């Protein structure tokens, strides 16, 4: 099997930031799960109920099942991230057991981190046969700053938004919250077309 040269794991900046916050907050270990896109971008990290010690975090099968049942895209939950607290980053026997327990038809991305901001990333596949790609590069995917401008341009080019206009009541009071619309130049103060100038020209 030819392994892609550029096999790497990408993770949304927001997801990575959450992982570092939880790593800082946890006295020892903790685990979280995340979704993985088809082009291997990890995002949407979420915690689930767990009991952790300084050196272990066991995946509680009941908590895991509960998490997946309430998840909007359970089939996309294919990343397991955990921290080793102050210990080094490596794959322990227990980690190997966790990864085996999360086996699926597509792939599983695993990331282990520690409080020193070290990390290790790997991808495991079980189909067509069992393979582990370890020590993969982990790239942070930053939000695209150009995107807002591009979206604005496209929005303005394609979308016309109608403003609902509520009529003033008989006293001329406008409905609450509605600003007085500026009077167009062709309209006189009673709302009629201002023909004064046109008539003057015609005459």
Rounded to an integer, what distance in angstroms lies between the CA atom of residue 152 and that of residue 87?
47
Q: Give least dist CB 124 to Zn ion, A.
A: 14
Q: How many Å apart are CA 47 and CA 60, to the nearest integer?
A: 12
56 binds Zn ion (CB under 5 A): no
Subset of residues 93 to 112 that bind Zn ion, contact rule: CB under 5 A? 95
What is the total count of residues that contact Zn ion (CB under 5 A)?
2
Distance between CA atoms of 84 and 86, rounded to whole angstroms?
Answer: 6
Residues 74-93 that bind Zn ion (CB under 5 A): 92
How far apart CA 70 and CA 32 sit, in angstroms, is: 15
> Is residue 19 near Zn ion by the rule CB under 5 A?
no
We find the least distance from the C-beta atom of residue 57 to Zn ion, in angstroms, to be 7
d(CA 149, CA 142): 16
The span from the CA of 39 to the CA of 27, in Å, is 33
**What length is written for the chain?**
203
In the complex, least distance from residue 41 CB atom to Zn ion, rounded to whole angstroms: 23
Which positions from 138 through 197 interact with Zn ion, judged by CB under 5 A?
Answer: none
Least distance in angstroms from the C-beta of 54 to Zn ion: 12
Binding site for Zn ion (CB under 5 A): 92, 95
């Amino acid at each position: 099997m030819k392994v892609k040269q550029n096999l790497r794991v990408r993770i949304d900046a927001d997801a990575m930031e959450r992982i570092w916050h939880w790593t800082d907050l946890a006295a020892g270990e903790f685990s979280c799960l995340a979704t993985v896109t088809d082009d291997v971008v990890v995002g949407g990290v979420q915690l689930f109920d767990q009991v952790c010690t300084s050196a272990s975090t066991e995946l509680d099968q009941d908590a895991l099942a509960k998490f997946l049942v309430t998840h909007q895209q359970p089939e996309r939950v294919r990343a397991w991230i955990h921290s080793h607290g102050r210990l080094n980053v490596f794959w322990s026997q227990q980690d190997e057991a966790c990864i085996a327990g999360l086996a699926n038809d597509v792939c599983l991305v695993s990331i282990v981190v520690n409080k020193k901001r070290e990390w290790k990333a790997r991808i495991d596949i079980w189909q067509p046969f069992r393979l582990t790609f370890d020590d993969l590069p982990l790239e942070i995917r930053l939000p695209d700053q150009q995107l807002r401008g591009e979206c604005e341009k496209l929005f303005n080019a394609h979308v016309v938004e109608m403003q609902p206009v509520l009529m003033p009541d008989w006293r001329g009071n406008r409905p609450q919250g509605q600003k007085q619309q500026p009077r167009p130049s062709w309209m006189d103060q009673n709302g009629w077309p201002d023909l004064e100038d046109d008539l003057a020209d015609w005459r």
